Structure 1
Amino acid sequence: MPLRSFPRLWMAILPLFTSPALAVEYPETAREQVVDKYQSAGGKTLEVADPYRWLEADVRESERVAEWVAQQQAVTDAYLRSLPSRGEWVERLTKLWNFQRRGAPQRLGRPGASPLRYTYAQNDGLQNQSVLYLTDRFNGDGRVLIDPNQWSEDGTVALAGYSPSNDGRLLAYQRSEAGSDWRVIRVLEVDSGKELEDELRWVKFGGVQWTPDGAGFYYSRYPEPEAGEAYQASALNRKLCFHKLGDPQSKDVVVFENPDHPDWSAGAWLTEDGRWLLVSESKGTDHQNRLYARRADAPLGDGPLGDDPSSGWTALVEDFDNAFDPFASVGDKLFLLTDQDAPQRRVAAFDLSKAGEADFREALVEVVPEREATLEGASLIGGEVFASYLEDVASVVRRYSPDGGLLGEVKLPGVGSAMGFGGWQDAKETFYTYTSYAAPPTTYRYDIDAQVSEKLFEPNVGVDFSKYTVRREFYTSKDGARIPIFLTHRKDLPLDGKNPTLLYGYGGFTISMTPGYSPSRMAWVEQGGVLAVANLRGGGEYGEPWHEAGKLRNKQNVFDDFIAAAQWLIDEKITSPKHLGIQGGSNGGLLVGAVMTQRPELFGACLPAVGVMDMMRFHTFTAGQFWRDEFGSSDDPEMAEYLLGYSPYHNVRPGVAYPPTLVTTADTDDRVVPMHSFKFAAALQHAQQTSDAANGAAGDAPLLIRIESRAGHGAGTPTAKLIEQAADLWAFLWATIGPRDDS
């Protein structure tokens, strides 16, 4: 029977799974005497205990950690499989996920390339990975070009991106295994389907830039890691290389590197005509960057870069004060996005023929001025600049002439998110996808001459959206900041403080939480749950000032914003603390970990996913060194004590009654390595089992960790695993904060 039909039966069964008599018995986790010393501001020395340091070892390399993982997963599996609602969730989630979905078409080869062809990604419903198709019509069905489902039996090898050559004959594509950030680049001959011998390894965090003649491409790579360090070693010494087709990777030439700063990274951008090669160099995840340029169309020796591939660079920007993101060029006129003198960003242009002669900043010519809305991206297609804005977290797309004249807007279906608007500069069409919390991703073609959108594909998800409401509200945070929040729920739901509610947040890295459809969230909402998504500071919803207000020593603002969202939901009689669950992933997992240690009484359940939980040591693993711009690091005396003050792992206190918690991570997560979740879960379990003089006994709420195998930070996770994970999460929430309390 449907979940919604048995709330009273569930209320009778629920005590069997929450009573002290059946409290979870956790595996014993050894605590060791490890103490680190950090220097704080003013010369103060901080002595910080780290009793679970041994859990930092890679599960593939340590039998001890592998045994701990197996024991914890056995306890979690037993608990989750005992929940009577789980099977119902699996059944419903499977039905909701089982719909055909198709991405926006992409022109294969520039206009004039023969024949006319497009690629698009499609999933028939329950395929573990979407399939890449080739067609000769933008609205037609095609033939299979790449089917990642054939690469592994369990669906854990994914297509992680692809780039066609300018003539459309070749496709450089990236494979990712078990969710890892590591990529392998292969090259496919489109017509024959034959794979070339080229294979490039130790690639992550970057794409491919083809030369116009298709003879090769630029890409970024890291040195091959030491044995056993592939999934934990810091990402250092990134190099920009050129690969000539047919050569082994060992012959690839280094185009740009900065050995004096191994923690900085560089990525390439080649102008569409191939005349100019630009390099953007960054030292973290902030958008501020250095910018370099050189001619790439006048070879002096064997290859497109001449006899000395690493020479000839002209520095356009030599500091990290602003962001400069190139997106198009016409001749020597370079178009770019920048936040220089424009915190919400603007479009500007620079004459590359003056590189090295004119001061770059002073020579910038404004094309599209800053607006109140946040400029998220821009492209030059068919002689028009398409500028994508966020206005109170909803997409608005405006069209401009290349000299900045406003031509109009692209009419969108509603208050939601529009993504795409890419293509060749001389194309007469572009494609985009529109979605919202109650609108599945629908693809459109925009005819530039006619200025109209044509719907190409709208999925049938089997949901009557007329029964649901999506509304954007605003609430006030602790310091008076006005924060947007989106609510999605059934229209017939009484707002009386009794509704199981899931509050989601992120708040960091300029990442905006824009509206989008999710089968798993739809399952939650249709069963009577409320979905609330708060647009916290630290994100990019209102430009760089919004981001700055939630980073480094302002990070507590993010936690205060989330706590204020929870209190607002309670004050508005949408839910109550015992019916309120919170969720966040990655930086959002840090968010959940921080607020549940600061205000444990405010929440009924917590779902921290792949979170950054050890703020004292995050920067010593894989991509963590890039996050120092966002968080600071314990190596900095000005930040060490501040980080310690909110680090979730270090702020778990014995005797505190923490809410029911299901920590989730994956064994191949090499973005936020699983040690964060391992140590946090161990600390929670220890705190619950330890009485404290001030707090006494800590209760018996389940404090569990779910560890996915052959999966990573989220990207490329097979559909089957997504369904199983969602069923576990919703069953856990239903057993702790739901259903409605109508007794």
Structure 2
Amino acid sequence: MKYTSSIPLCLIAVLTVKVDAYGINSADKNRNFIKTPMKYPDARRDESILEDLHGKKIADPYRWLEDPFSEETKQFVDAENEISQSFLENNDKWKKINTNLTKLWNYQKYFVPMRHGKYYFSFRNSGLQNQNVLYKQNSLNDDEEPTVFLDPNAFSSDGTISLQEQAFSKDGNLFAYGVSESGSDWIKIKIRNVQTGEDYSELLERIKFTSLAWTHDNKGFFYNRYDQGGDGSETDTNENQKLYYHRVGEPQEKDVLVVEFTDNLDWLIVATVSLCGKYLIVTPYNGHQSSLYFADLEKNGAIVGKILLTSIVTKFEAEYVYITNTGSKVVFRTNIRAPNYRVVVIDFNHFTEDNWTTLVKEDSKDVIQWAKHVDKDKLVISYLQDVKDILKVHCLETGKLLRKFPLEIGTIVGFSGNEKYSEVFYQLESFLTPGTIYRYDFSNPDTEPTVFIENKLNLNGFDKKNFKVEQVFYPSHDGTKIPMFIVQKKTASKTKPVLLHGYGGFNIAIPPEFKVPFLFFVNAFDGILAIANIRGGAEYGQKWHDAGKLLNKQNVFDDFQAAAEYLVTQKYTINKKIAIYGRSNGGLLVGACINQRPELFGAAVAQVGVMDMLRFHKFTSGHSWITDYGDPDEKVHFDNLYKFSPLHNVHVPNSTVNQYPPTIILTGDHDDRVSPLHSLKLTATLQHAVKNNKFQNNPILLRVYSKAGHGDGKPIAKRIEEETDIHTFLYQSLQIDADI
């Protein structure tokens, strides 16, 4: 972190303190509160950009910020970073928060062991290593020390090159792995010899959102690539993903193009080689729905060109995820006519739908999340029950329920096991537990799972008994009951600060996982963490997702606003003590809510958010989000998107009631999933609306991190820096009085 001792006066706020509505007095030397509106960069407005979209004149005066390489964009980012760093670091709290966050993050982290060939592999982190390290060992006996198999920390001095995507060959002797630079979704694939630890010479490039599926002769694998690929800082649309086959030891130029869909350039291709090695299963995705194809690799013979696919499902109306197979009888998890998912068997010799059979029926309430084939004839199935994980075992042949694993309230964040072995491992996390790995052996069916490794915080005086976790169900605007987790210390009643987190989209649930920044907020700030499981996610299956997407998207924002209202009416806190937080689609959530109901919140944190809902589909992989948001090129969806697009609903405050809460917008310069242009354009628009406004005393800040992407693979040092910025901002904005 750069500490700034002297910044040009034209770029910083007047950092004097006054008594204001928050009751802060001038004696508080550690807070940056504003006597007059902040002085923001004078970003150029290009009033000539005016488009006619479906009969509406749409101005886009900051479109020049869509060019990440222009000198003008770089100057804007530099100026914004100077303002935000001055606001955050011009006190002693940044250093204290950073020190305490670092201490909390510094504990040994273990992840579930995986068996491949004759070795066990597992990721570990000694505490503050930027990237997790992959270890190898012959057995899991206590007297055997594992050896380092692959250490991503050696890829770069600052930890910004990370390991992404990996797959072992069927015999376990080869390891294909992807490397990402600066947080980009683009990766380069290398291949390592497991016995020697040495890499082969070839390097595969132009790869993004890839499958890695080895053929069972162990000679090569299928993977996805594009004709062109960048370094993560570009904004070009990613189109026409293709499936290739690579043979180990050969240069990428000799790779064989096996599948492409030239009439549907937006599709993403998922490829899997079946358990028996006979079938290539291809599921092209359009959003969260897929079609389904297969090819008989034995009949195709040597892979020398395009593979002839047999189509089973051509309509995009459900999802199909391969689980396992016994001969031609192939098992899938699907939500076709089953919103909470079921497990079906499709005989590839008689694959029409009237021949499908249901192996495990859809549950009327609980959602099937995933299923794994283990111990010859068993399926371990994870269910989501009121946003809490349930783990059951079913018979692969009959679907009969065999047993249920005992689980505390939490989330399974890791599982390993396969059909060849009776032993399985699973890792359970909760809001207050950083991960306990359990071991179970089906060869001893009368026993219970045992603790294999328990991750323990290195935090003096920490005791879970001093905290309480509750789940409430609050009403949204239309009466729908929304689940929400509330985590806090068992301290005397007072008006506590609240961090309200949500997502609400893309069929993704927000479960009770362990996150260091969340625990820090609750523990160090004596705050309340509130996780609102709003519609649009996967909490209650496809119906819950559908209720928060496309023309129903406003439900997501209403649910989140209702969460804030509930916390106030139930006297957990008051509005000016509520900070809302969201990232990616959750960043859109925050952006929309501060436009629609700014009076509900005391602060807002929006990370890597989708903010321009009229042009999101024109950049990187944005076209794949149309299935959740709708297509702006179609009038019915344009009209809907225009109503809530954060960029297009910025208002000029006309009272202290509808001024924007203190807001910080964060992004990374190598985010090639949600391009930083979204955050830059919204910041410029907000600052233009509030500058010199007598009703707006709260800051609007932008923080852009270098060599950082959407979040995957971010080194711990950068994560701590970013969370220090966020929590310093929250400390100041919410007037937190904790002694840190």
TM range (shorter): over 0.9
SS of match in other structure, 1:353 = coil
CA displacement 1:703-725 (0-9 Å, x = unmatched): 10111110100111111111111
CA contact (8 A) 1:689 1:698 kept: no
TM-score, normalization by structure 2: 0.92
Shift of 1:276: 0.6
How far, CA to CA, are the matches of 1:134 and 1:411 in structure 2?
29
Q: Give unpaired runs (5+ residues) of structure 2.
A: 1-21
Determine the structure 1 residue equivalent to 2:181: 177
Tell me how far apart the structure 2 counterparts of residues 581 and 336 of structure 1 sit (CA, whole Å): 41
User: What is the TM-score when the length of structure 1 is the normalising length?
Assistant: 0.92
Aligned with 1:270 (options 273, 276, 280):
273
Question: How far did residue 295 of structure 1 move?
Answer: 0.6
Amino acid at match of 1:477: S
Indicate the SS of the match to 1:68. helix
Amino acid aligned to 1:21: K
Q: Give the corresponding residue for 1:295.
A: 296
Residue of 492, 500, 515 corresponding to 1:503: 500
SS class of match (2:47) = coil
Distance 1:20 1:171, change over 3 A: closer
Q: 2:708: which partner in 1?
A: 711
Structure 1 residue 426: deviation in Å?
2.2
1:333 shift after superposition: 1.1
Q: Give the deviation of 1:741 after TM superposition.
A: 10
1:75 paired with 2:102, answer: no
Change (3 A) 1:131 1:635: same
CA separation of 1:708 and 1:134: change in aligned 2, threshold 3 A = same
1:57 to 51, 61, 67: 67
Distance in 2 separating the partners of 1:381 and 1:589: 39
> Is residue 676 from structure 1 mapped to residue 678 from structure 2 by the alignment?
yes
Could you list the per-position Cα deviations for residues 662-697 of structure 1 after superposition, in whole angstroms to 9, with x for gaps in the alignment? 110010000000000001111111111155xxxxx3
Q: Does 1:21 align with 2:32?
A: no
Taking structure 1 as reference, are residues 486 and 375 closer, same or farther at Cα in structure 2, changes over 3 Å only? same
Q: CA shift at 1:445, angstroms?
A: 1.8
**2:372 matched residue in structure 1:** 379
Equivalent position SS for 1:219: strand
1:585-734 equivalent positions in 2, closer than 5 A = 585-655=583-653, 657-689=659-691, 691=693, 697-734=694-731
CA RMSD of aligned residues (A): 1.9
User: Which one of the candidate residues 233, 236, 240 is aligned to 2:239?
Assistant: 236
What is the alpha-carbon distance in structure 2 between the residues aligned to residue 229 and residue 186 of structure 1? 19
Once the two structures are superposed, the pairs formed by residues 198-277 of structure 1 within 5 Å of their partners are 198-225=202-229, 231-277=234-280
SS in 1 for 2:517: helix
**Alpha-carbon shift at residue 10 of structure 1 (Å):** 8.8
2:295 counterpart letter in structure 1: R
- Structure 1 residue matching 2:612: 3-state secondary structure: coil
Q: What letter is aligned with 1:273?
A: C
Deviation at 1:557, TM superposition (A): 0.1
Contact 2:324 2:332 (C-alpha < 8 Å) held by counterparts: yes
Aligned: 1:348 with 2:315: no
Q: For residue 13 of structure 1, report the CA deviation from its aligned partner.
A: 4.5
Q: Distance in 1 between matches of 2:529 and 2:161?
A: 31
1:485-504 matches, within 5 Å, as: 485-494=484-493, 496=494, 498-504=495-501
In 2, distance between residues paired with 1:16 and 1:199?
51
Q: 1:411 aligns with which of 406, 409, 413?
A: 406
Query: Structure 1 residues 588 and 377 mapped into 2: Cα distance closer, same or farther (>3 Å)?
Result: same
Cα drift, residue 198 of structure 1: 2.0
Structure-2 change in CA distance of 1:228 and 1:294 (3 Å):
closer
In 2, the alpha carbon distance for the partners of 1:139 and 1:607 equals 46
Per-residue CA deviations over 1:192-235 (Å, capped at 9, x if unaligned) read 1111012111111123111112100001111114x899631111
Q: For 2:662 and 2:244, how far apart are their aligned partners in 1?
A: 49
SS across alignment from 1:645: helix
Maintained 8 Å contact 2:238/2:621 = yes
Counterpart Cα distance in 2 of 1:163 and 1:741: 46
- The structural deviation recorded for 1:354 is 2.3
What secondary structure, in the 3-state scheme, does the structure 1 residue paired with 2:321 have? strand
1:440-459 aligned at under 5 Å gives the runs 440-451=434-445, 452-459=448-455
Query: How far off its partner does 1:324 sit?
Result: 1.6
Determine helix, strand or coil for the equivalent of 2:621: helix
Cα deviation for residue 245 of structure 1 reads: 1.0
For 2:733, which of 730, 733, 736 is the aligned residue?
Answer: 736
Give ranges in structure 1 of 5+ residues lacking alignment: 1-7, 110-115, 692-696
Residues 661, 703 of structure 1: 8 Å contact kept: yes
Q: Distance in 2 between matches of 1:228 and 1:27?
A: 28
Aligned partner of 1:37 among 51, 64, 73 = 51
Q: Is the 8 A contact 1:608 1:664 kept in 2?
A: yes
The Cα offsets for residues 495-542 of structure 1, whole Å up to 9 and x where unpaired, read as x5x111100000000000001111111111112011000001000000
Cα distance in 2 for residues equivalent to 1:625 and 1:547? 19
> CA contact under 8 A between 2:112 and 2:415: conserved in structure 1?
no
**1:400 aligned to which of 394, 397, 406:** 394
Answer whether contact 2:499 2:527 (CA < 8 A) is retained: yes
The answer to whether the 8 Å contact 1:178/1:668 transfers is yes
Count of aligned pairs: 703
**1:36–1:330 Cα change, 3 Å:** farther
* Identical positions, percent: 38
The C-alpha deviation readout for 1:281-317, integer Å capped at 9, x for no partner, is: 1222x1x2110011112453xx3x3x5x324211000
* Structure 2 equivalent of residue 113 of structure 1: none
Q: Distance in 1 between matches of 2:91 and 2:260?
A: 54
CA 493–248 in structure 1, closer or farther in 2 if over 3 Å, else same: farther
Kept in 2, the 8 Å contact 1:416–1:436? The answer is yes
Residue 102 of structure 1 is matched in structure 2 by: 110
Picking from 57, 63, 69, the partner of 1:47 is 57
For residue 320 of structure 1, give the secondary structure of its aligned residue in structure 2: strand
Q: Distance in 1 between matches of 2:361 and 2:631?
A: 36
User: Given the superposition, is the C-alpha separation of residues 19 and 386 from structure 1 closer, same or farther in structure 2, using an over 3 Å criterion?
Assistant: closer
- Whether 2:335 is the aligned partner of 1:366: answer no
Please name the residue that 1:87 is paired with: 95
Output the CA distance in 2 between the equivalents of 1:603 and 1:129: 35
Which SS does the other structure have where 1:643 is aligned? helix
Using the TM superposition, name which of 566-575 and 130-139 deviates more.
130-139
Q: Distance in 2 between matches of 1:530 and 1:86?
A: 21
Amino acid at match of 2:240: N
Tell me how far apart the structure 2 counterparts of residues 296 and 476 of structure 1 sit (CA, whole Å).
53
Q: Flag the 1:366–1:703 CA change in 2: closer, same or farther, 3 A.
A: same
* Alignment partner, residue 437 of structure 1: 431
Match of 1:166 in 2: 170
Cα 1:229–1:89 shift into 2, 3 Å: closer
* Displacement of 1:698: 3.2
SS at match of 2:171: coil
Q: Which residue of 1 aligns with 2:316?
A: 320
Residue 88 (structure 1) shift: 1.5
1:38 deviates by 4.7
Of residues 125, 128, 144, the one that matches 2:127 is: 125
Equivalents in 2 of 1:741, 1:453: separation in Å? 41
Change in 2 beyond 3 A, CA 1:344/1:218: same
Matched position secondary structure for 1:562: helix
Distance 1:38 1:339, change over 3 A: farther
